[in-house]
Structure 1
């Protein structure tokens, strides 16, 4: 009897599902639409210099960075969709946490109107968790991403980096505004002390992630943007101590990034 034929193993990985990348594109478009709708409606979140805000809330024009984030997210989602692009499985893997982030953004805009006190903090926490997971996947896959076309490499690192840098700082500010909305003081000894603690937490977060990412430039720039505009917001409110603390956080974050990049690029010592 003829021997039973064994199935051929070509070594090719199973095809990655396309639905995460399709969903990512839909949600990236959703980010833009929800943001435009929020601005057109003149909702609470898009109203600058709201009364009762803590002094460390970034100056009003700082939030224009959301437009950059939305555009980068959309461009990356468009590029990542076709099957013919390199590393389909990696793109689908990245699409899962990024879809959570993009969906969270639209939910955050709604939560800011419906129940802005603590729901926004919870939504932001979920977004940050998704961004950190996407960063973990991208850092683990540095070698594969390095083989992508230059525009694609630029898109993935800048999308995740700027989104993560701004969001990991903004969640601290969001925490402060939620506490203020709950009745916590924004001035006096307790109010200033609480905001100093928030700035310390934001700076520590930035330092940890900068070190983890080996000084990823987009992350560093976005985190420094947040701290710079927080310093300007505090200075505009006449709170010199808070402005100085935010500026100190900026300097610490930038110095950490320079050190991390030098260490990352340093040649291995010869035996």
Structure 2
């Protein structure tokens, strides 16, 4: 089997992407050196434990790329996915380093990552779900949420019209609109929605305590129910079809 340059590049970039946290200063949010109005844990940002999903994403992307190189080295269906996925990974490798220096540039970059990952997800074939569709879906789902988290924190940090809570009210619905549009597409991996739900859960838990932002917590809960319904809709449709048949 011939192994394409893009297959090799996907594996190399997946490994580099996963290695980035080990060679970059820890990213703990945008600080006062980057933003005129420092953002200390804005409402749009999930609780810290939610970011642990990156460990699964890193590992699954490496396993996926390694399998693809070994067993799908020149598969045309995988090649369709590799193009946009390479864009997301290439932008992602330096993202942590950039995020520690420039919130504005990091926000632009994470939207590019999300766009590449979503484009890759929508090109995944029906086969190889666990080795391609689901890992790319988890990656794309988390980036969808993370991009709007970054937008909300950065916009509030530059004092653009609204404060941190106001930007949470703007960015959370926007994230839900994008996530719902993607999850509504036929055959989209449920891993995409699960990653979004994980982020929303982190936002809900963080904002639920008294004195936080209960309205944002409620909106996050409604978002969880919406995305869960979209994930379960194909299953419900199949069960109904069997019952009628």
Q: TM-score, normalised by structure 2?
A: 0.85
Question: Quick check: 1:162 aligned with 2:142?
Answer: no
Q: What residue number does 2:9 align with?
A: 23
Which consecutive unaligned segments of at least 5 residues does structure 2 have?
32-37
Q: What residue number does 2:216 align with?
A: 242
Q: What residue number does 1:42 align with?
A: 26
**Residue pair 2:134, 2:189 contacting (<8 A) in 1 also:** no
Distance 1:56 1:43, change over 3 A: closer
Q: What residue number does 1:180 align with?
A: 156
Q: What residue number does 1:11 align with?
A: none
Q: What residue number does 1:254 align with?
A: 228
SS of residue paired to 2:93: helix
CA distance in 2, matches of 1:175, 1:96: 26
**Could you tell me how far 1:156 is from its partner in structure 2?**
0.9
Q: What residue number does 2:34 align with?
A: none
> How many residue pairs get matched?
238
Pick which of 200-209 and 166-175 moved more: 200-209
Pick which of 175-184 and 253-262 moved more: 253-262
**Could you tell me how far 1:265 is from its partner in structure 2?**
6.4
**Could you tell me how far 1:266 is from its partner in structure 2?**
5.4
Query: How does 1:76-95 map onto structure 2 within 5 Å?
Result: 76-82=64-70, 84-85=71-72, 88-95=75-82
CA distance in 2, matches of 1:45, 1:225: 19
**Could you tell me how far 1:219 is from its partner in structure 2?**
1.1
Distance 1:110 1:86, change over 3 A: closer
Q: Residue 68 of structure 1: which of 56, 59, 62 is its match?
A: 56
Q: What residue number does 2:87 align with?
A: 100
Q: TM-score, normalised by structure 1?
A: 0.78
Distance 1:59 1:42, change over 3 A: same
Query: How does 1:116-135 map onto structure 2 within 5 Å?
Result: 116=103, 118-135=104-121
**Residue pair 2:13, 2:90 contacting (<8 A) in 1 also:** yes
**Residue pair 2:14, 2:65 contacting (<8 A) in 1 also:** yes
Larger radius of gyration between Structure 1 and Structure 2:
1
CA distance in 2, matches of 1:19, 1:114: 32
CA-atom RMSD in angstroms: 2.8
